[in-house]
Structure 1
C-alpha cells in the first residue's frame, strides 16, 4: 500500500496524542495541544467557508505569532497552499508578490494591514485579520470544528507552500515546496536535531523564511513546544534563552552574532541544540557559541532545497573544531550533493579544487511558481544548480568558498572573498566582515572589505589591513577596509553584496583608510 508522504500526518498524530502537553508559549499565553487541535479544527471551517478549495493559495503576512503558526497547520489541512511573505519585505515587494502569488484569501496580521490592505482590495482578495489585536478568537468560537484528517485525494507531489526567495519585483522566484519535500525535511530535522516530546523550540527565524526551516511542522510533529517572541531584538532572544527552558534553536549568523558580544557574555543554564545556517558563519562565532553552551550543528541549504540540506555531526565537530566550519555531509534523507567542475565532473576530494555545488534529492523543489525559464535553468540536467562554490575535503565534507558571482579575480588570480573574511574575523575587534570587488588606481580589480566592530572597539581600517598581511598573499589583501556602523541586509539577514559593490565602485578607492 502506498499513501502520500506529507508532514501533515505526523502533525495530526501529535494533535491527537499530546493533549496535555504545551504546544505554544507566547508571553503569558500558553496553548496546549488540545487547544491547538481545537483552534486548528475551527480554522478549517473558517477557511473552507471563505472559499478555499483544493490547491488554492492562501497568503500569510504576519510576524511570528500563535495565529501565524496556526495558519501553517490549518491551511494545508484544508487542502490549500500556504504562501508566507516576510513582513520585513518592503511595501512595494509585498504588494507585487501578493499579486504574483494568485491568492484566494489572505491572512494578515492586524499590524500589517495598513501596508497591504489597499493592494489586496485592488486584487479582490478577501482578508482575514489575525493576531492579538484581531477578533479571530471570537470568530473561531462561533463556528463548529471540522474533522482533523488528511485532505481527500492528497498528492504528495503537490505544493504545500510557496516560499519567495526575496522581495524582488524583477524576477520573482516562488519556490514550490511539495508535501513530499516537507516530509523529508521534517524527518531529517527529527533525526539530526533530536526533536522529541518535551523539546522547547525558540522561533528566532521568521516562519516566512523557508517555513522556519521546516520548524513549523517538525516541532509539532515531535510533540515539542513552540516559543514565540514579541520581536527579535537581542535582549528578547537572550531573555528567552535564559528563562524559557529552551532546548532547540535554528538561527542565521546575523541573529547569533549579537549574542556572542564579548561585552555582554551569555552563559546558558543548560545545553541548547543549535542549527546554524543561512550564510557562512565566521569560525570565531562558532567557537563563541560552543563556549556559551550551545551544541552547534552547522548546516547548509537553500529555499530551493526546502531549507537545510547538509549538516555537520556533533561528534565530528567535538573531535575537531575545524570540521565545524564546514557544511558537512548530506542529511540522513537529504539525497546527493556533488561539487562539480565546469565539465560536470566531480572535483577531487582534496580540500583545494573548487567547483559548483549541485544537488539531487527529495528535498529539492518542484520548481518556481510561474517562472518556467528560471526553473529550467536551476534544474538543468536533473540537478539543482546552486551557484555556490565549494571544495570537498578528503573526509567527504563540503566546504563552501563563495557564491559564483562573489569569487574575485585579482591580477589573474581567483580569490575567495570568504577566505579574506575569515582572516579579518580573526581580529578580536571585528564583529562582521564582508569582502567585495572594487577597483584600484590601475582600473583593475581589488578586494574591498566592509567591517563592523564590537562595541567599544577602537581599531582603524589600516590596522586591520596590516593584520591581514601575514595571512594572505599580496594580491588578496584588501585594498581598503571600510568601517561601517551596519551592513545592508535582506529581510532574512543576508548581506546585500550588490549594494556594497556599488559603493566600492563609486568610491574607486586607492589607499586604505
Structure 2
C-alpha cells in the first residue's frame, strides 16, 4: 500500500485534540466528585468544589481582561489557592508564573517586568515583599490578595493597597463558564524563572503537551496508584511542583497542603492523613531524620519519598530506608519540567549489601518514559562518552518534556539546544547498564594540579561521618595547586567534630589530593527548595 493512502487520513477534531493537563481536573471532578481533593488545616474540599473554584478563578480573570498569552504571577506558599492557580490561570489561555517566595524584591520586580505580569496573586505573609518589588518595577498588575486562615495573625494583618480579596474575586466568576482549551498543545502553560545565581534569572517556558506528559511520567515513576495522598513538602513554585499539581489530580488524589516544611508538622500530617507520597530535596530528608524522636509519629504504611535537587548522600539514603521510607531518586532541571530521569530500581538489587544498595540508589538513573533521549556526551563533538562509569561528559537530553525555550532570549535558547540536544551543564558518567551518575556541575568541578576533583565525591565522604548533617565542598584558590577543596559543614544537634577529625575521616574514603584542605563550620546558605547556594560559598572560600 502506498504511504499516501495512510497520509490521506485527515487530522480532525474527532481524532486529534491538544494534550493538556487541565482535563485531569474535569475528569476527576466528574468521576470522583465527592472525593477529598484538598486538605489544609481544618479545610476539606471535594473534587467538585475544587473544580468549580478553578473555573471561577478562570472566569473572573477572563472578565478582568486576562487572555491568551497573558502572564499571571503567583507569590504563594503551598496553599489551596496555589493549586487553583495551576488550573484557573491556563484555563483563560493565560500563562502562570509561580514566583519563588524567597527571592529578593529586586529579582521579583525583574520577573514581573520581564514576564509582563498582568495580575499578581499574593499571600498576605508575602505582601511586604511584593510591596517593595512593586516600587522597583514598571509593571502595574491587577493585585489579588489571599488571606489564609493557617497563616499567623501577624501575616494576616498585612494589607496591600489597591488589592482585591481572592475569595471576593473568584465569587464573581461563574463555575459554569466554558473555559478555554489551548488552541495548540505547544501553547505556553507556565513560566518558571531559574535561580539566577549568576546574573539575571532566565524565563523557562513550559507548554501544555510537556506538562501533560511529565505529569503522567510522574505517575509511572513514583508508583502512584489511584487516590494517592500527597504531602506538599516540595514548593509548588519550583518547576510547578515538578508537575505534581497535575499528577496528583490525574489520579484523583488528595493534596495535603503545608505552608512551611518543619519536621514535626511533616510527621504529624503523614500519620494523621495517611500520606502515601511526598517530594523534596535531600535537605527535606535530613529534616525528617533530624526530628526529635518524641515528635515523630508512627506511620500507617510506608511512604514513597521522591527525592531530587541534588545527588542525595549515600548515608542519608541508607538512613531513610532504615526509617521506613521507600526512596525514589529522580533528577532533572527547571528546563525539563523538573524530574525527567529516574533511578529505576531492580528487584534483584534488594539482595545486595545495604552499602552497595545505597551506592546504586545514589545514581541518577535512566530517562523517564516521557523523555525521548538521554545521554552523557562530549560537549564539543556531541558524541556519547564510553559507558565505563569513569569517563565524564555533559548530560544532554531531548524530547517532549524539554522547555519551549528561554523567554525573550533567543541566543541563550540557541546555545542550550546546540547540536539538537538540551545541554544541562551537569557533568556525569555513564555505566555499562546505561545508568548515569552526576559528578558535578561543570562550574563546580575543582581542578587541582591538573586533576579534576568532584565536589560531590568529597561531600559523600563527609556525609559518612555520623556528626555531619549538611556538607558542601567548593574550590578554594591555592598558589601551588591552583584550586583545592574547601568544605563547609553543619553538624548534627548535640554532636561535635573538629576539622582535623573530618579530614582524617575522609582519608579513609578518598585519595589524598581529593581531601578538603580546610573545613569551616557554619549554617550553609540554601535556596527555598533546599539547594545549597554554592556561589555564596565560593565567594567565602575566595575570601
TM class, shorter-chain normalised? over 0.9
Q: Is the 8 A contact 1:349 1:391 kept in 2?
A: yes
Q: Indicate which of 287, 295, 304 corresponds to 2:335.
A: 304
Note if 1:123 corresponds to 2:153.
no
Instruction: Tell me which residue corresponds to 1:179.
Output: 208
Instruction: Tell me which residue corresponds to 1:24.
Output: 38
Distance 1:161 1:181 in 2: 11
For residue 10 of structure 1, report the CA deviation from its aligned partner.
Answer: 2.2
Distance 1:306 1:54 in 2: 21
Q: Indicate which of 225, 228, 233 corresponds to 2:257.
A: 228
Note if 1:215 corresponds to 2:244.
yes
1:317-396 map, 5 Å:
318-320=350-352, 321=357, 322-341=359-378, 342-396=380-434
Distance 2:89 2:233 in 1: 22
Q: Is the 8 A contact 1:90 1:167 kept in 2?
A: no
Note if 1:163 corresponds to 2:201.
no
Aligned with 1:406: secondary structure? coil
TM-score, normalized by length of structure 1? 0.94
Note if 1:88 corresponds to 2:111.
no
Instruction: Tell me which residue corresponds to 1:510.
Output: none
Distance 2:178 2:48 in 1: 12
Q: Is the 8 A contact 1:431 1:453 kept in 2?
A: yes
What do you get for the CA RMSD once the two structures are aligned? 1.9
Distance 2:132 2:493 in 1: 42
Choose 6-15 or 249-258, whichever is displaced more: 6-15
Aligned with 2:517: secondary structure? strand
Distance 1:181 1:413 in 2: 40
Q: Indicate which of 55, 71, 79 corresponds to 1:41.
A: 55
Q: Is the 8 A contact 2:72 2:119 kept in 1?
A: yes
Change (3 A) 1:367 1:219: same
| Paired residues, number | 504
Change (3 A) 1:152 1:217: closer
Distance 1:48 1:106 in 2: 14
Aligned with 1:196: secondary structure? coil
Instruction: Tell me which residue corresponds to 1:503.
Output: 540
Distance 1:310 1:169 in 2: 25
Dislocated runs of 4+, deviation >6 Å = none
Choose 262-271 or 382-391, whichever is displaced more: 262-271
Structure 1, unaligned stretches of length 5 or more? 507-513
Instruction: Tell me which residue corresponds to 1:260.
Output: 289
Distance 2:200 2:168 in 1: 40
Instruction: Tell me which residue corresponds to 1:435.
Output: 473
For residue 148 of structure 1, report the CA deviation from its aligned partner.
Answer: 5.1
Q: Is the 8 A contact 2:60 2:172 kept in 1?
A: no
Cα shift readout 1:320-348 (whole Å, capped 9, x = no counterpart)? 51221111110122221110124221111
Distance 2:198 2:480 in 1: 36
Choose 294-303 or 253-262, whichever is displaced more: 253-262
Q: Is the 8 A contact 1:193 1:273 kept in 2?
A: yes
Q: Indicate which of 205, 221, 225 corresponds to 1:196.
A: 225
Distance 1:188 1:250 in 2: 15
Q: Is the 8 A contact 1:432 1:452 kept in 2?
A: yes
Cα shift readout 1:278-318 (whole Å, capped 9, x = no counterpart)? 11110111111111111111010000011001111244564
Cα shift readout 1:209-232 (whole Å, capped 9, x = no counterpart)? 001011111111110000001322
Distance 1:141 1:171 in 2: 37
Structure 2, unaligned stretches of length 5 or more? 1-14, 149-155, 157-163
Distance 2:351 2:147 in 1: 46
Distance 1:340 1:65 in 2: 41
Aligned with 2:459: secondary structure? helix
For residue 263 of structure 1, report the CA deviation from its aligned partner.
Answer: 5.6
Note if 1:420 corresponds to 2:458.
yes
Q: Is the 8 A contact 1:276 1:296 kept in 2?
A: yes
TM-score, normalized by length of structure 2? 0.89
For residue 261 of structure 1, report the CA deviation from its aligned partner.
Answer: 2.3
Cα shift readout 1:60-92 (whole Å, capped 9, x = no counterpart)? 111111111111111111211100101111122
Q: Indicate which of 92, 108, 117 corresponds to 2:122.
A: 108
Q: Is the 8 A contact 2:387 2:434 kept in 1?
A: yes
Instruction: Tell me which residue corresponds to 2:5.
Output: none
For residue 120 of structure 1, report the CA deviation from its aligned partner.
Answer: 4.0
Q: Is the 8 A contact 1:50 1:105 kept in 2?
A: no
Change (3 A) 1:475 1:443: closer
Distance 2:64 2:413 in 1: 32
